[in-house]
Structure 1
C-alpha cells in the first residue's frame, strides 16, 4: 500500500486535526511534497506538532521521511536519472526537486545512524597505523574525498577504485591496518571478496553500506544509513551525498579524539597551503 492509499484508508481514524492535514495532502499531494512543515501546517490550519504526529501515525520517522514516501507514491520518476524528476520538468522544477529530495534524504540518513557505531569507528580509525578507503563507481569519489580528509591527519592513508589494486593492498595488510569499504547497496560481489581478503590478512574492515547486505555481513563494523534511493534504476545522487557527509562525521570525530595538540598539526597543514592560493582582496 503506497502512502496516498494509506492516507485514504485511515482517513476516518484520524483525529479532527490530523484529518485536516490528510485532506490538505490529498487535495494537492504534489504541493505537499515541496512544502515545508510550516507551510503545510498553515494550509491545513493546524500546528506543526500535529503534522509531525500525523506523519508518525503513518509509520514514518517524521515529516522529511513522510515526504519521501509520498513522492514514491506519486511517480516512478525518470528511469536512469532520478525518481523525483519528471520528463516535463522545467529547469526550475528539477533543480528544486533535486535539492529538496537530497535534504530530505540526508535527514532520514542522519536519524538512521547508530551513534555507538560511529563512536566505535572513530576508536578504530584513531588507533590504526594505516587506513585504506575503497569504493567503486559513484562511491569511488567518496573514497577519494575520504583520502583527502584523512591524508592531513599524519596517518598513512591510501585510496583505490580499482579491484586489482585493492586486492594487492589487502594482501599486504595486517592487524594495524583498517580498510573502509564504501558501497550504497553492499551487493557488489568484488567488494565482498575484498572485505573477506582483508580480514584473512588480519585487517579490520569497516563497511559504509546497507544494513544486512552481503558486504555488511563480512565487515567487522558496519555504518549503515537508510537512504531511500534505488541506484539499480536511478543515478546515484542522495546516497553519494549522504556518504560524503558520513566521511565528514568520521573525520570530525577523529580530529576531536586526537585532542588540541593534534589540531595544532592541522593548523600547520593549513598554513602550509596558504602560499598556493591568491589571498582575498578587500575593496
Structure 2
C-alpha cells in the first residue's frame, strides 16, 4: 500500500515556480505568501483569491505532479506543522563547537526530510525494478557527486550485483561504449547540469541502457534526458560549505534507499551474499592479524 506524502508542498511550489505559466505562477505566489490560508480553501476559492480560476489551480497541481488539490493541501499542512527551517546555515568565525554541532545536525535533518518529501515513490519503484532486472549497474558522478557513486558501487557489489563507478569522463565514456539494453546507468549531479554527467547519460541512452538521474528537484538537463528521475533536496549549500555537505548527504540517502529496496526485493539471496562477503573480509582480517603476531 502506497503511503501519501504529508509534507513538502511549499518546497514543490517554490522550486517549480519559475517553470510555470503566468496564471499558475500567480497561484504559486499566493500560496507561498499565505500558506496557512490554503489548507481551508476549495479549488474555486483559491482561484478567486489568486485572481485566476479553479481550472488553473487544477493545472498547477498537475504541473507539480500531485494527485490533486487535496494532496497539495495535505503537504502544505504538514509543512506548517513541522516548521523546520534553517535561517543561517553558514558557519561564523570562531563559532562555539556546541553551536556548530546543532547547526550541522539541524541542517542534515532538514535535508534528509526534504529529500524524502520530494522522492516520487513510483519513480523509486521503477528504479528498483530496473536495478533488480539489470545485468550491470554503472554509477557516474564527478567532484563531490563522485563519492555517492563509489559508495553505491561498494554496496551493490556486496550483494553480487555487477557494478562500476567512475568519476572521469574518459573512463565513463569507455564504459558507456559497451553498455546495452540490459544495463542501467545512474547519473549523479546535484545541479542536474554537470556537463560530464549529461554526456554520459546521452551516451548511455544512445546504446539503449536504462538511465536513472539523481539530481536536485526541478527540471534540469540531466533529469529531462533520463528514463527515471530521482530527486534530492534543493536546499542551497551555505557559501562556506558549497557542494560539500548537504548535497552529498542527500545523494547518499537516496543511494541507501535504492540499495535497501533492492536488498528487500531479493531478501534471501541478499542475506546469502552479505554473509559470504562478511566471511571473506573476516578471513582476510584474521590472516593479517596472524601475520602481525
Structure 1 length normalisation: TM-score? 0.69
Structure 1 residues 60-99: Cα deviation after superposition (integer angstroms, max 9, x where no partner): 4642xx332xx34xx5xxxxxxx33223522221222111
The equivalent residue for 1:140 is 146
2: CA distance, partners of 1:232 / 1:182: 21
* Length, aligned pairs only: 215
Provide the C-alpha distance between the structure 2 equivalents of 1:176 and 1:261, rounded to a whole number of angstroms: 21
- Structure 2 length-normalised TM: 0.67
Structure 1 residue 141: Cα displacement? 0.8
Q: Which residue of 1 aligns with 2:171?
A: 165
What secondary structure sits across from 1:104 in the alignment? helix
* Mapping for residues 76-95 of structure 1, pairs under 5 Å: 83-95=89-101
Superposed, which structure 2 residues align to 1:77-226 within 5 Å? 83-210=89-216, 211-226=218-233
CA distance in 2, matches of 1:127, 1:56: 37
Deviations 1:143-179 (A, max 9, x none): 0000110112222211100011111111111111111
How far apart are the structure 2 equivalents of 1:85 and 1:213?
29
Deviation of 1:231 after TM superposition, in Å, equals 7.2
Answer yes or no: is the 8 Å Cα contact 2:90–2:240 preserved in 1: no
* C-alpha contact 1:209 1:225 (8 A) present in aligned 2: yes
Against the structure 1 CA distance between its residues 194 and 262, is the aligned structure 2 distance closer, same or farther, given a 3 Å change threshold? same
**RMSD after superposition:** 2.6
The match for 1:254 among 254, 262, 265 is 262
Q: Distance in 1 between matches of 2:137 and 2:178?
A: 12
CA shift for structure 1 position 261: 3.4
1:66-77 equivalent positions in 2, closer than 5 A: 66-68=83-85, 71-72=86-87, 75=88
Structure 2 residue runs without a partner (length 5+) = 1-29, 38-72, 287-293
- How far apart, in 2, do the equivalents of 1:163 and 1:85 lie? 34
Q: Is the 8 A contact 2:187 2:212 kept in 1?
A: yes
Q: Distance in 1 between matches of 2:239 and 2:179?
A: 32
Where in structure 1 are there 5+ consecutive unaligned residues?
A: 1-5, 14-52, 76-82, 279-283
**Structure 1 moving runs of 4+ over 3 Å:** 59-62, 230-234
User: Given the alignment, which residue of 242, 265, 268 partners 2:273?
Assistant: 265
Distance 1:212 1:135 in 2: 19
Contact 1:170 1:197 in 2 (8 A): yes
Mapped to 2, the partners of 1:196 and 1:187 lie a distance apart of 13
